Amino acid sequence: MTQDFKRNEATGLDLGWLNHIHVNKAAAERRAASLANRRTVKKEYQAAWLVKAIELIDLTTLSGDDTPGRVERLCMKALRPLRTDLVEALGLQERNLKTGAVCVYHEMIRHADKVLQGRLPIAAVSTGFPAGLTSMETKVREIELSVADGAQEIDIVITRQHVLTGNWQALYDEMVAYRQACGEAHVKAILATGDLVTLENVAKASWVCMMAGADFIKTSTGKEGVNATIPVSLVMVRAIREYYERTGFKVGYKPAGGVSTAKAALQYMTVMKEELGNEWLEPHLFRIGASSLLTDIERQLEHHVTGNYSAAHRHAQP
């Protein structure tokens, strides 16, 4: 993280500003289509972008059948995301290539820490993930326990009904409580955009969470019917840009759920570069929540090096 980076602070809920937020859905979808469908970078430039993409991944396992062994393998893969022969062929020996973080359930924090030992951040999902429908007392305590166990980042889920009923004060108060419970741990606010019905709701929820001190805003838990999309991402990153212009605080962005191909990762990176600039292509301001994405990136880099695609099963699975 850059030394001059300032964490977002709660700026107060501005309902007057919120009431003036409107999203032109047709225009947003046209812009999203133009970003998603343009020709991508090629050859050595694509390889460089894909190496950067590895450093932006929150390597994730959030399954009901997670085991300590699976989490430990995930962490070892996060520390050595590319095979040694590919690292050497790409000239990355001095880069110390790693993913941005690992993301796990609370019960797996200590198993992750046993492998990572401070070399990578541990992100823990919290607050009744994925639905967020447990008591407020339980949700705040869950954050506190995860921080105490060693999580440096907390991915919280908001209460969707606050957005759907327009109860912005309740959403703001909830987010402030989560931010306070996190202490020095950074907090990512998962909006579960697939449940929010409209892009306008997405924009307003983004603003309220940022006003309440969220360090990141994140699209999805990965458990909704619709997860990260380019139109939703466009709305969220434009909210981030305007929030920075108004407050001076830089908030991060994390698409999650369904980002499983190198092509998709490049599309989201293009959105960040075009809408927010190169500074938002660094791990302290951009992460991609994913589990299988790394395998496809590794396959694409092997093709760049050898000219051949390998089967996915030839690559170590976390």
**Per-residue pLDDT tens for 66-88?**
999 999 999 999 999 999 999 99
- Give domain status of residue 3, yes or no: no
pLDDT band, very low/low/confident/very high, at 4 (cuts 50, 70, 90): low
**pTM for the structure as a whole:** 0.95
Annotation marks residue 173 as catalytic = no
pLDDT surpasses 70 at 314: no
Annotation marks residue 218 as catalytic = yes
Q: Among the options 58, 98, 155, 188, which is catalytic?
A: 155
- Give domain status of residue 7, yes or no: no
- Give domain status of residue 10, yes or no: no
Mean pLDDT for the stretch of residues 218-238: 96
- Give domain status of residue 158, yes or no: yes
For the ranges 31-45, 148-162, 214-228, 278-292, the lowest mean pLDDT is seen at 31-45
Mean pLDDT for the stretch of residues 30-40: 83
- Give domain status of residue 228, yes or no: yes
pLDDT surpasses 90 at 308: no
Kindly report the average pLDDT of the chain as a whole number.
94
pLDDT surpasses 60 at 105: yes
- Give domain status of residue 90, yes or no: yes
pLDDT digits (tens, 9 = 90+) for 242-293: 999 999 999 999 999 999 999 999 999 999 999 999 999 999 999 999 999 9
| Residue 39, pLDDT score | 67
- Give domain status of residue 67, yes or no: yes
Mean pLDDT for the stretch of residues 79-99: 96
pLDDT digits (tens, 9 = 90+) for 117-147: 999 999 999 999 999 999 999 999 999 999 9
- Give domain status of residue 81, yes or no: yes
CATH of the domain at 129: 3.20.20.70
pLDDT digits (tens, 9 = 90+) for 185-217: 999 999 999 999 999 999 999 999 999 999 999
Structural domain including 74 reads 15-314
How many independent structural domains does the chain possess? Answer: 1
Asked if residues 121 and 100 have their Cβ atoms less than 8 Å apart, the reply is: yes
Q: Among the options 77, 139, 250, 254, which is catalytic?
A: 254
Annotation marks residue 254 as catalytic = yes
Q: Among the options 98, 139, 218, 250, which is catalytic?
A: 218
